[in-house]
Structure 1
């Protein structure tokens, strides 16, 4: 989870990735000249992400303090932050309603909550279904793709929002080939990495085959490398 801020106002960004939703990430063409703190709720399982974040911050000339925390139990006082952001991160918290309530709790009245979440209809939503056929989720754990459902988001945030904008957008995965994508996601993307680790060798072969089929179904590269569009929701909530 990432935190940013200066003086008495701060912003917080729970995220398991180094991607960004707004200027709070320090990846804008003209990054703001102020100190940042970054907190990663998945840090115990992905220390490489924190190291990558530190390197990125240094390259951007930003002073950033990284702090690990759990998205379902943020170690911050109520209404601590002006901005709360998550890019494809908080959606993977097991207790989704608890994680949503934590985003609300630490955001001040009049502040913004920004989210980028994969949709169930898009490529990553289909990926979740393929992986789920091989490694079903634990009992009671719901699909992360719920965060890409506008109705579900309004149920979670509607009562505490003065406004909520939801925009469907596309991110394009670009790789040398479908095989290249599988190699990278098998090693570094949590859901697929864990699925391959949990399967016997022969089942790993089956999963790889199904992933390649899925990729080729979504591929729009026209034979010049792999280009797979994946739909996500860009969500901006103004806290009441």
Structure 2
């Protein structure tokens, strides 16, 4: 009886060891997959931050151009009712924000959109590889990700009504003496309106109040 129990115990030991080894291997494999997934998530977060930063920088730099065209109804109609292009600058901010999130902008993969939208597409690669793991060939791989961010108007432009022309026989006003008139009104969400005052163009609302920045699907 004792001999039989000892024999069964000896046969079970290799099976137990194999099972434990298999479970350890699976645990390590799941860890490696999780580590790779975390690295890819970090890359995507860096790409999102970089694209948003590029679009925000472009939006903020556009303020000077907007101020310069505030008395031009045609310009305002294009910007707020059409397809604003904004500025081409933004990749400097993208590079900075990518670096702050542990990634680098891939060479030649930060640029303004060419499909009529105002925005930027950015591609990044992580600064650190995925690290040593039991999965062959992954220890020296770097995660890559891409993101697109766009700038969109929060407001619409409503031109002012045209002034009535002088009647026949009335002497027209001297154009040199004429005071600048308001080109119209910016009507924004939530019932917020801004009547453009030629005498107080410096009171232009913040760019964040006039334009939103968001991630796009492509």
- Rg larger for: 2
**Between Structure 1 and Structure 2, which shows a larger proportion of strand residues?**
1
- TM-score normalised by length of structure 1: 0.22
- TM-score normalised by length of structure 2: 0.23
